[in-house]
Chain A
């Protein structure tokens, strides 16, 4: 069964460093998302991406965040200068068409900023 894959599963980084979280969405999917979940809290929307551009972003997604789909298969989230409060689980998700279809989530990357 096709699935969304994310790497790495866990990343530890020093405050102020740049990190890139990687995702491979399901191959025929067109809509891509990044979410963040601080331990025990809600799943927070960060950004959605369609047709090679950002379609929506939340207030959390400020200038230190960026997304890219560099090669037609990978979908990356970059955090330029990490802060302690960026420590969270980051989930990538994808869905295959409009009409508000279900989103398929990856296993997540646990980011720890020290």
Chain B
């Protein structure tokens, strides 16, 4: 099945700093979604990227889809304690399968 690899798996980020998390595929993706799961919570949809080279912004979050549609990144600026959680990328493939990467667990250091 289609796999997406996320790097890094863990990040410790000082409050106020920026960080980036990456999602990579060996095959071309039709689209990619990003979800955030707070500790003890459930995955919550953040964004969907569809077009080659697409960039979308949500306040301090910037999402990019690579030109070859094989990778994506999420960049967060001026990290806040509310950014703590695990960020997953997810892809649709097959008949009706939404598959998640292993996630990037982010710890924010006050």
* A-B interaction: yes
- Listed in ascending order, the chain A residues whose CB lies under 8 Å from chain B are 31, 33, 35, 41-45, 48, 50, 55-56, 58, 91, 93, 100-108
Q: Mark B77-110, 1 if CB is under 8 A from A, else 0.
A: 0000000000010101011111111110000000
User: Is B96 within 8 A of A50, CB to CB?
Assistant: yes
Q: How far is the CA of A104 from the CA of B98 in the complex (A)?
A: 12
A106 CB contacts on chain B under 8 angstroms: 42
Given contacts A45-B97, A45-B100, contact A100 B92 (CB under 8 A): yes
Q: Which bucket holds chain B's interface residue count?
A: 20 to 34
Asked if A100 and B44 make an inter-chain contact with CB atoms under 8 angstroms apart, the answer reads no
B31 within 8 A of A: yes
- B44 near A31 with CB under 8 A, answer no
Q: Which of B49-74 contact A (CB under 8 A)?
A: none
